[in-house]
Structure 1
Amino acid sequence: MVTTPLAVVLLAGVVGMAVAFLVWLHRDRPGAGPLAAFVVAASLWAVAYGIELAMPGLEGMIRLLQVQLTLSVVIPVAWLATVVEYTGHPNWLTRRRVALLLVEPALFVTLVWSNEAHDLVWTATETRYLSSAAVALDPAYGIAYWGHLSYMLVLVLAGGLLLLRVMVGSNQLFRGQVLALLVAIGVPTVVQSLFVLGVLPVDFDPTSLSYVASGVVLSVAILRTKLLDVAPVTRELGREAIFTELDDQVVIVDEQLRVVDVNGAAVALFERDQDALLGRPLSEELPRLAETVPEPGQRAQTEMALERDGALRYYDVRVTPLYRAYGVVSGHLISLRDITERRQREQRLDVLNRLLRHDIRNEMNVVQGNADMLRDTAGSEERERIQRIIRTVDGIVDRSNKIGRVTEALESEHHRPMRLRSLLEPVVEEARDSYPDATISLSCDRDVWIEGGPSIIIAFEELIENAAEHGAAGDGTVTVEITVERRADTPGVAVRVSDDGPGIAAHEREVIRSGTETPLKHGSGVGLWLVNWIVRNLGGRMAFTDGDQPGTTVELQVPAADPETAEDGTIRADDD
């Protein structure tokens, strides 16, 4: 007849084997191998104890006790190996360290199977009847057993500290996984310790029963928290790879500004190799870089120049504090991004911008002045050619002025709530005066507000004038419609400028969409570029929409604004 304790411990074995099967399905994951050994050993231990309860003879019960004690040495070592791999430190398990870990288990197993010669593991064995009429072995443990139990507790404690370290600062998913692993080893260990100390008021060893709870916890962790699918080891390996492979130079210093670590890219900044740098004061290695580190707990960002390989390189330096538990600053992470090429490009752009906005414009004014003088004295045929020169010069000067206005606006303007209709109406009226043959209409509610600045007016002028000028049909007439809409599917305001002309060429649109120009792929002007820059500076976007009707529709998505957030007088200054 199967007794209740026997049924319980056999159930523990079945549950353990089921969990072992789940672990086997994830055998290629970090920590799966030792976790499987942990679960299988615990399950076989439960089965051996269950058979012991059904064993009639004392000698057979002692042999089964020896089997259980042998299996018990696997559990703490396997669990510690699981934790080490799970937390991302598999390199700790070197052959030498594993051999040292196995010295005590090997010695204890030897003592278990030779106990009759020395009585160090148990000194006497008795049997007792359980309440269910089953017979259980009641050994009197010796010094070797208590030493082994202490060793088990040390390994369990070491693994627990590693898990607690991961739990601090982890997200909810990893906290659930860590808690499952702690319960899986903590509950059986505590139960076993209390039982052998005689604290628990039970007749049979409940350690096997506690492994039932551990098996259930591990099953839930595997199925619901993806214990063996998403582990901190992957995150740690990813962070290590980022730190190692990052092109930016990264230096980590402690609170005393001593170098703790550097990545491969940062080694070139120093005169020492990576190993020799560790522990060195940053102020002695790179004094200028040490000066960028702020007070503890503060961030900093600056640009600095460092000499490297005989050349001066410029870096964008960012300093971030590193925190321990309870908000204690333990050091700083210093990242340096080489911006030498960016600075050179900016210098070239500054020179070209000055050349376009000042030198060429001044020279064009000279050309225009001389052309005006020649036109007054030239004949009719030459006058027409001179007039063409003047129109060309006027176009160049106008584009230069427009680019200058946009550049200054993008560099200095502050965005604020503005009534959209108050911005569009003057632009529409000016376009009607400039293009009397064009039919220009505006549809915009008065309660539409956008977040913008003076540059947005330039964008509206460019779009409306471009539609009125280039959208004209063969007879010179064109219809331009400006419509404004607040749509529920977008957070901004849609401003559409449509004309019924020939439309913007496909390659012109593609240049704006791709954001780059090449010698074989470029636009015919700067107007659409200016509009695109202005809208993107506001946080919006520009798009081309094709409808059933001929012509072009350019849509600007600009951020909406709440008029209540404006300062007193700010809105009224731009209002009617």
Structure 2
Amino acid sequence: MFPSWTVICLLLTGVFLLTLAGIAWRFRTKPGAKLFGLLQILSAVWVGVTVLGLSQSPGSTRLRLWGVGTGLSLLVAVFWFGFILDYTGRNQWLSSWSFGLASLPLVSGAALYFVAPAVSPIVDQVTQTTTPTGTVVEATIGPIGLVLAAYVYLVFLVGLGLVAKTVIEGSNLFVGQALAFGLGSMVTIVASFLVILEIPSAGYPLTQVGLGVQAVLWGYAVFGQQFLRVVPAVATIGERAVFDDLDNGVLVVEDDTTITRANPQARAYFGDDDLVGQSADSILERMGVSALADLPTRFQHRGRTYQATASPITNWRGESVGHALAIQDVTPLVRRQQRLQVLNRILRHNVRNNMAVSLSIAERCQHHDDTDVASMGETLAEKSRDMTTICEKAVEIDRTLDDPGPTQRVDLDTLVEDVVSPLAEQHSEATVRTAIEPETVETNAQVLSLVLREAVENALEHAGTAPEVTVAASRADGELDLIVRDDGPGIPRSEVEPIIAGEETALDHASSLGLWLVSWGTQSLGSEVDIDATRTGSEVTVSIPTGENRQETPDSGAITSNQSDVGT
């Protein structure tokens, strides 16, 4: 005998399912939301058909409603699996033939139940029994019916496995959602299994009652775990989009050298659209090696230069299961390096030598009897010296920053004195002071000396006729601040802005290499430079991380400026 609460429970289940469907419609643009809503509607219809069937007298109509309800249960499994695919970011499977093939047995079974619910061998025997709360159908499942039931359980098992896999490989953010979906689905699965065992009694709609518990758990996922607002599909689809849209070629290779994934750029590099499934040996052969362990840093292919790196892929136990092979076309970089090498060699030798010749001629012209010729000789000598200085500075930048070498413990006061003393002697009209306490710091002495010399030299040359320059140091928050103060007008804004922007344009450029040298040097040290205008002059502060805090900073962040009133 069925208690009256069964029908009430089913009606409440239908209402809650339709409520979830309405909420899903509000978030219909989210992955999985539409199929989630359709799943709730289909489940609600199934529950409604069940309630309607309980109200019927035994006969063909009751049997037809039972067949419709059973067919709907198979379609619910199809929509449930489709929702899981969409929810976990595998929506591409929904439009593939494989999903249609996987759904075919369930859709065919549903059609048979709709048309001929009591046909053998789906059902061997059907009995209708009237109880105080309704008419129930007791069915003995035939061979095909058993196969369909087993297939439904297999579909649920695969779906739950996909949810678990997504959570394990992804973020803890989705654990609550996954547990709610998993437990809710398991309630329905267990209930359907008990129905087959005729528990609590033959024909009792326990599966439909289980849908109510499932709806409550899924409601918890919606209201308590932000489902429909945050779903793992976005992360999965995003990862796939990043993989496919990378400018670099990427191959995923299993330990047996089988290529399991290849993005479009990798296929374009090797001119092969069918890399997946092939052995990586053919790719390695084009790189000139026979094993990933011998992977070259760079290799040539079809007249272009590529850079390759291999990273191990491990499972949750830390065991190697394959490698990710990243391939980058570095042809433009190699050609640019070649051009820079040629230009640097010309700058070192040809230009410097020619400037030396020009300077020699200019100095001879300065002593000419003709005053115009002597004046031109003086101008030419000045420009030749400037060009020679620029060449020497460019060579020094290249030599020092190309391979700065390791850090070491440095006596800061000694380093500052070694830099400042020669500059003070060259500018006898200037007053140069140092305020450095004896201490040691771990840094690159060669690069720091280069940066400090440029900062002091800039202050001496641009601070006026009798400049006063002070070099001081202070520590704060694990950093060493090296400060160069002067009493001059400050560095013009037009000189600083191109360095802050990280590039020069035809209308916005620095007139010398000095600030670029400071910028590149501080980046190499992992430091920052701040240029401030004060009431008494300008202040250049180089903040240097010491010891374990040392790291290289981004190109565009090396120099900041607070010169609102300087250089205008």
**TM category, shorter:** 0.7 to 0.9
8 Å CA contact 2:35, 2:83 repeated in 1: yes
1:527 aligns with 2:541: no
Q: CA RMSD in A?
A: 3.9
TM-superposition CA deviations, 1:486-528 (whole Å, max 9, x none): 445xx63333323232322222112222222344433222111
Q: Equivalents in 2 of 1:268, 1:118: separation in Å?
A: 54
8 Å CA contact 1:37, 1:75 repeated in 2: no
8 Å CA contact 2:531, 2:539 repeated in 1: yes
**Which residue pairs with 1:305 in the alignment?**
300
Between 409-418 and 233-242, report the one with greater CA deviation: 233-242
Q: Indicate how the Cα distance of structure 1 residues 236 and 56 shifts in structure 2: closer, same or farther if over 3 A, else same.
A: closer
Secondary structure, counterpart of 2:43 in structure 1: helix
Deviation for aligned residue 1:537: 0.9
Which of 417, 434, 437 is residue 429 of structure 2 equivalent to? 437
For 2:213, the aligned partner's letter is A
Q: Equivalents in 1 of 2:324, 2:515: separation in Å?
A: 43
Secondary structure, counterpart of 1:454 in structure 2: helix
Q: Indicate how the Cα distance of structure 1 residues 214 and 421 shifts in structure 2: closer, same or farther if over 3 A, else same.
A: farther
**Which residue pairs with 2:419 in the alignment?**
427
Secondary structure, counterpart of 1:28 in structure 2: coil
TM-superposition CA deviations, 1:380-405 (whole Å, max 9, x none): 96888767666655554444444333
1:542 aligns with 2:517: no
For 1:470, the aligned partner's letter is H
Deviation for aligned residue 1:534: 0.5
Summarize the alignment of residues 217-232 of structure 1 with structure 2, pairs less than 5 Å apart: 217-232=217-232
1:190 aligns with 2:190: yes
For 1:358, the aligned partner's letter is H
Secondary structure, counterpart of 1:334 in structure 2: strand
Q: Equivalents in 1 of 2:65, 2:268: separation in Å?
A: 64
1:19 aligns with 2:17: no
Between 530-539 and 170-179, report the one with greater CA deviation: 170-179
Secondary structure, counterpart of 1:151 in structure 2: helix
Deviation for aligned residue 1:214: 1.5
8 Å CA contact 1:417, 1:561 repeated in 2: no
**Which residue pairs with 2:557 in the alignment?**
none
Secondary structure, counterpart of 1:466 in structure 2: helix
**Which residue pairs with 1:294 in the alignment?**
292
Q: Equivalents in 1 of 2:252, 2:388: separation in Å?
A: 53
Deviation for aligned residue 1:103: 0.9
Which of 119, 125, 129 is residue 126 of structure 1 equivalent to? 129
Secondary structure, counterpart of 2:328 in structure 1: strand
Deviation for aligned residue 1:332: 3.4
Q: Equivalents in 2 of 1:421, 1:393: separation in Å?
A: 35
Between 226-235 and 351-360, report the one with greater CA deviation: 226-235
**Which residue pairs with 1:471 in the alignment?**
463
8 Å CA contact 1:122, 1:145 repeated in 2: no
For 1:74, the aligned partner's letter is L
Deviation for aligned residue 1:304: 1.4
Q: Equivalents in 2 of 1:63, 1:284: separation in Å?
A: 61
Deviation for aligned residue 1:280: 4.2
Summarize the alignment of residues 154-553 of structure 1 with structure 2, pairs less than 5 Å apart: 154-198=154-198, 205-270=205-270, 273-275=272-274, 277-284=275-282, 287-289=285-287, 291=289, 293-295=291-293, 302-307=297-302, 312-323=303-314, 326-365=317-356, 393-410=384-401, 411-446=403-438, 449=441, 451-472=443-464, 476-487=465-476, 492-547=479-534, 549=535, 551-553=537-539
Q: Indicate how the Cα distance of structure 1 residues 447 and 203 shifts in structure 2: closer, same or farther if over 3 A, else same.
A: farther
8 Å CA contact 1:125, 1:138 repeated in 2: yes
TM-superposition CA deviations, 1:446-490 (whole Å, max 9, x none): 558463331211211111121122111xxx2223343434445xx
Q: Equivalents in 1 of 2:505, 2:148: separation in Å?
A: 76
Structure 2 gap segments, 5+ residues each: 550-568
Between 235-244 and 538-547, report the one with greater CA deviation: 235-244
8 Å CA contact 1:222, 1:228 repeated in 2: yes
Q: Equivalents in 1 of 2:364, 2:122: separation in Å?
A: 123
Q: Indicate how the Cα distance of structure 1 residues 180 and 15 shifts in structure 2: closer, same or farther if over 3 A, else same.
A: same
1:559 aligns with 2:545: yes
Q: Equivalents in 2 of 1:496, 1:80: separation in Å?
A: 66
Deviation for aligned residue 1:99: 5.0
Secondary structure, counterpart of 1:274 in structure 2: coil
Q: Equivalents in 2 of 1:175, 1:141: separation in Å?
A: 39
Deviation for aligned residue 1:170: 1.9
8 Å CA contact 1:111, 1:121 repeated in 2: no
8 Å CA contact 1:450, 1:561 repeated in 2: yes
Deviation for aligned residue 1:39: 1.9
8 Å CA contact 2:56, 2:135 repeated in 1: no
Q: Indicate how the Cα distance of structure 1 residues 147 and 274 shifts in structure 2: closer, same or farther if over 3 A, else same.
A: closer
Deviation for aligned residue 1:287: 1.6
8 Å CA contact 2:39, 2:79 repeated in 1: yes
Deviation for aligned residue 1:193: 0.7
Secondary structure, counterpart of 2:508 in structure 1: coil
8 Å CA contact 2:419, 2:453 repeated in 1: yes
TM-superposition CA deviations, 1:22-64 (whole Å, max 9, x none): 22222233332332232233334445555666x4955587666
Between 410-419 and 324-333, report the one with greater CA deviation: 324-333
Deviation for aligned residue 1:164: 3.5
TM-superposition CA deviations, 1:536-558 (whole Å, max 9, x none): 111222333234x2643333232
8 Å CA contact 1:503, 1:550 repeated in 2: no
Q: Equivalents in 2 of 1:121, 1:37: separation in Å?
A: 32
Q: Equivalents in 1 of 2:339, 2:304: separation in Å?
A: 17
Q: Indicate how the Cα distance of structure 1 residues 561 and 104 shifts in structure 2: closer, same or farther if over 3 A, else same.
A: same
Q: Equivalents in 2 of 1:216, 1:419: separation in Å?
A: 70
Q: Equivalents in 1 of 2:525, 2:122: separation in Å?
A: 84
Q: Equivalents in 2 of 1:278, 1:57: separation in Å?
A: 60
